[in-house]
DNA sequence: TTGTCTAGGACAAAGGTTTGTCCTTGGCTC
DNA sequence: GAGCCAAGGACAAACCTTTGTCCTAGACAA
């Protein structure tokens, strides 16, 4: 049933909403006939005037199929559960939007379950949502990697359709992720081309899967390009970024400290920051240390946000396809839900264009002017 | 049923999940007995060993009551629909968190419906969610005021439990809002005490209800305090804040322009900004005009966010009780859902403490030093 | 002995849809 | 006029729980 009553349905005072049987009675046919007509069953043949009358009566009574009864019968709820940490970081909002939009296009409702980061739950915890028929599948966007010692976390979920969003799950074939290495390379290529030799990456805790992947990619790419890399992990907050920068500066100022193999090095001259929140802290720390951006330190945010263009130093960033990630995850999950054979599962890598948003926070390294 | 299987349930290969009848068969009783025992019906008396066996079997089979069947029978879905515009602005995230948290505490699931701001829907649009038994009630957090000419928008919703969050709906008694006037007064009292005479308010479009209420409150309070007020409306974006500031500056520099009755005035010396996004634009514009903060212009954000503390000029803000708004809205909605008589409805005003977060963007007016 | 009461539970209806199967009737062919 | 077929629908089971009502047997009192 797709037609929509143009006018708020006039309601009978007694019952809450019209049912199939109410229409059937009014028209003088069986409920099964009404059901088939309203659902457009092509196998059903019905006289034109009855067909017409059924639709008209449904319209008049403001009929809306009861989603519960339908779902119960069809064994299909039409709902997706989205487990997500509700953080200030705008990436989650974009991800959520992309997912919601796509789900609604494909006729699914989305219920949001907040994953409290403090007390990280194993993903199998959320399986009850499918077991209780509250949802058809799980979109798992918790950010933490699963500790290797978590037993049964994988098997516990195998029976229900699920997809890991923006991270890799314990089993293969159910991940939907972006090309984090490409993002890192975008940054590295840009600053390397300008002549930077020593770079840093300030990012979240290693327990976050994307962080882990970015670090790996950065190490590999730096080795290939012969760049010297410092990686610092910190909380995904302004405070965290500030504190990590302090560490970076302290470390750079003590000669002889071991930074990734090359001894006696000084401060990195270009730095990528994993999240917008941290970026504020990094900029504040640099400002406090009287290190001008980009003259003393080039800066690239791995989160794109409009506000970066309006800061005292507009910050260059790499824009990740977050909405696409959300919608691709929904598509992947629905595919798993509707698949007859679930063996077709394969990881998804979002390959939408990822681009460097050029602003003013990147320049040549201090020596090279 | 509250107990949780400590271990992922071993499943029978054949059926997806255990049903009441499976347990009943295994134990050798009728399903009604199992249902009553598992639900802790106090009126049911049962032999201890049967009681014990039912619980044990349920545990073993990993029984989870089918939420659909239960909801169908009980006429109560245990779900709330939250209609919200998913914006970058962190206030929505906080609001969402507060609501989700409270709903989960009270045993309700929340489904999120995105309200696309471009094509504003009348609230009655979302009524189908209750009509189709997808949710028990509606949390309406769309931001736009309802155009007075929208017909039937009120009546269309009267039959279903609903609550307007952070805005006033067309009918009275279903609003949950914060004390916006108090927030405005917090700002005004602070700058007035420092000697400011001319103030400005840069905020979103008038169609946004909170904006409307803040403007009204500001006009009233300024009149009472004999302050000169300029109000500027703009998009809730960085760009909007930037552009509004340009307007403000142009206006201030053309002598004789009529700013709220007082002719020949010059620039305001203190400005409140309605949203974080706009604040970035305002600061950029001020910076571009070489107007130092707070020396030339004091600034207060009406959105509190941690990142404000880390900007080049840390920005003073007023912190609104957004999480409390979310949870109070959920409480109010659940009250309406569970109320036998819906006449008890009354508007809710969140009176949690609202505080000024002092940072460095407010100082005495230019002349007063 | 008969009646009453209570513990302990069984029965079945309901909640609103969907869908496989079956039935009737009229038209057509031969 | 018999047989067949398709159109046009009716019937009823099933999805899984909840809950009002009813039943039976033993205990106890009179």
Each residue's pLDDT tens digit, A34-91: 999 999 988 888 999 999 999 999 999 999 999 999 999 999 999 999 999 988 888 9
Q: What is the DSSP letter of B2?
A: -
Share of chain A above pLDDT 70, in %: 86
Tell me whether B150 touches chain A (CB under 8 Å). Answer: no
| CB neighbours of residue A300 within 10 Å | 28
Say whether pLDDT at A258 is over 50.
no
* pLDDT interval class at A339 (50, 70, 90): confident
- Prediction pTM value: 0.89
Quote the pLDDT of residue B344.
Answer: 60
Quote the pLDDT of residue B1.
Answer: 37
User: Can you list the pairs that B16-24 forms with residues at least 24 positions away whose Cβ atoms lie under 8 Å?
Assistant: B16/A159, B17/A131, B17/B62, B17/B63, B17/B64, B17/B66, B18/B58, B18/B61, B18/B62, B18/B63, B18/B64, B19/B63, B19/B66, B20/B63, B20/B65, B22/B61, B22/B63, B23/B54, B23/B57, B23/B58, B23/B61, B23/B63
Q: Helix, strand or coil for residue B195?
A: coil
For helices A238-253 and A276-288, give the axis angle rounded to 10 degrees.
50
Residue A354: C-alpha distances to residues A182, A210, A216, A219, A326 (Å): 8, 16, 19, 20, 15
Contact residues for A326 (Cβ-Cβ < 8 A; gap 6+):
A94, A95, A96, A97, A98, A99, A100, A101, A102, A165
Quote the pLDDT of residue A133.
Answer: 96
pLDDT digits (tens, 9 = 90+) for B181-206: 999 999 999 999 999 999 999 999 99
* pLDDT interval class at B43 (50, 70, 90): confident
Say whether pLDDT at A256 is over 50.
no
Distance A47 CA to C26 C1' (A): 14
**Does A68 sit within 8 Å of B87, measured CB to CB?**
no
User: Can you list the pairs that B164-167 forms with residues at least 24 positions away whose Cβ atoms lie under 8 Å?
Assistant: B164/B123, B164/B140, B165/B95, B165/B99, B165/B139, B165/B140, B165/B141, B165/B325, B165/B326, B165/B329, B166/B95, B166/B141, B166/B209, B166/B210, B166/B325, B167/B140, B167/B141, B167/B142, B167/B143, B167/B208, B167/B209, B167/B210
Say whether pLDDT at B242 is over 80.
yes
* Residue with more model confidence, B10 or B247: B247
Beta bridge partners of residue B178, listed in sequence order: B350
Closest to A160 (Cα-Cα) out of A131, A123, A125: A131
Q: Which of A132, A281, A307 sits opposite B310 (nearest CB)?
A: A281
For helices B209-225 and B180-193, give the axis angle rounded to 10 degrees.
40
* pLDDT interval class at A146 (50, 70, 90): low
Which of B158-162, B245-249, B361-365 is the least confident region? B158-162
Distance A51 CA to C27 C1' (A): 23
Residues within 8 A of B (CB atoms), A 103-122 only: 104, 109-114
Residue B276: C-alpha distances to residues A310, A319, B249 (Å): 12, 21, 20
pLDDT digits (tens, 9 = 90+) for A99-133: 999 999 999 999 999 988 777 678 888 999 999 99
* Residue with more model confidence, B100 or B339: B100
With beta carbons under 8 A apart, name residues in chain A contacting B152: 7-8
pLDDT digits (tens, 9 = 90+) for A171-218: 888 999 999 999 999 999 999 999 999 999 999 999 999 999 999 999
Nucleotides in chain C with any atom closer than 7 Å to protein CB:
7-12, 14-20
Say whether pLDDT at B301 is over 50.
yes
- Whether A76 CB is under 7 Å from strand D: no
**Does B287 sit within 8 Å of A312, measured CB to CB?**
yes
- Going by their DSSP bridges, the two strands A355-357 and A316-319 should be labelled as antiparallel
Return chain B residues 68..107 having CB < 7 Å to nucleic acid strand C.
Answer: 69, 72-73, 75
**Does A87 sit within 8 Å of B93, measured CB to CB?**
yes
Element of type H or E holding B199: strand B198-203
Range from A250-264, A334-348, B2-16, B185-199 that averages highest in pLDDT: B185-199
Quote the pLDDT of residue A14.
Answer: 47
* Residue with more model confidence, B227 or A342: B227
Tell me whether B93 touches chain A (CB under 8 Å). Answer: yes
Say which residue the tokens 């094509």 belong to: B119
Mean pLDDT of chain B: 88
Say which residue the tokens 């970024």 belong to: A241
Residues within 8 A of B (CB atoms), A 241-260 only: 242
Which of A127-136, A197-206, B123-132, B259-268 is the least confident region? B259-268
Say whether pLDDT at B147 is over 90.
no
Beta bridge partners of residue A200, listed in sequence order: A230, A271
Per-residue tokens: B89: 């602005």
Beta bridge partners of residue A122, listed in sequence order: none
Which of A158-167, B26-35, B60-69 is the least confident region? A158-167
Quote the pLDDT of residue B256.
Answer: 45
Say whether pLDDT at A20 is over 70.
yes
């Amino acid at each position: 049933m797709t037609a929509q009553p143009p006018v708020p349905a006039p309601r009978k005072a007694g019952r809450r909403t019209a049912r199939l049987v109410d229409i059937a009675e009014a028209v003088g046919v069986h409920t099964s006939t009404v059901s088939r007509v309203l659902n457009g069953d092509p196998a059903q043949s019905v006289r034109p005037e009855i067909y017409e009358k059924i639709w008209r009566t449904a319209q008049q009574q403001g009929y809306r199929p009861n989603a519960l009864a339908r779902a119960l019968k069809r064994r299909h709820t039409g709902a997706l559960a989205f487990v997500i940490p509700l953080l200030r970081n705008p990436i989650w909002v974009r991800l959520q939007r992309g997912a919601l939009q796509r789900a609604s296009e494909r006729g699914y409702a989305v219920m949001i379950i907040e994953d409290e980061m403090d007390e990280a739950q194993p993903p199998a915890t959320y399986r009850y949502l499918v077991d209780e028929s509250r949802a058809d599948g799980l979109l798992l966007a918790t950010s933490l990697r699963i500790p290797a010692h978590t037993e049964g976390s994988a098997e516990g979920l195998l029976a229900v359709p699920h997809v890991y969003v923006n991270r890799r799950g314990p089993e293969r074939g159910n991940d939907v992720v972006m090309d984090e290495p490409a993002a890192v390379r975008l940054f590295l290529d840009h600053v390397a081309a300008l002549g930077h030799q020593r770079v840093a990456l300030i990012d979240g805790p290693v327990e976050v899967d994307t962080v882990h992947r970015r670090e790996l990619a950065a190490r590999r790419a730096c080795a290939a390009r012969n760049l010297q890399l410092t990686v610092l992990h910190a909380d995904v907050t302004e405070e965290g970024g500030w504190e990590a920068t302090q560490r970076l500066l302290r470390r750079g100022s003590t000669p002889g400290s071991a930074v990734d193999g090359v001894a006696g090095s000084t401060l990195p001259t270009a730095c990528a920051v994993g999240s917008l929140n941290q970026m504020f802290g990094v900029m504040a720390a640099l400002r406090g240390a009287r290190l001008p951006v980009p003259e003393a330190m080039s800066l690239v945010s791995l989160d794109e946000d409009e506000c970066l263009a309006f800061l005292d130093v507009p910050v260059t960033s790499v824009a990740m396809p977050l909405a696409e990630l959300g919608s691709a995850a929904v598509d992947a999950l629905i595919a798993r839900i509707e698949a007859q054979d679930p063996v077709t599962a394969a990881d998804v890598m979002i390959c939408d264009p990822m681009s460097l948003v050029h602003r003013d926070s990147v320049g040549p390294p201090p020596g090279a002017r």
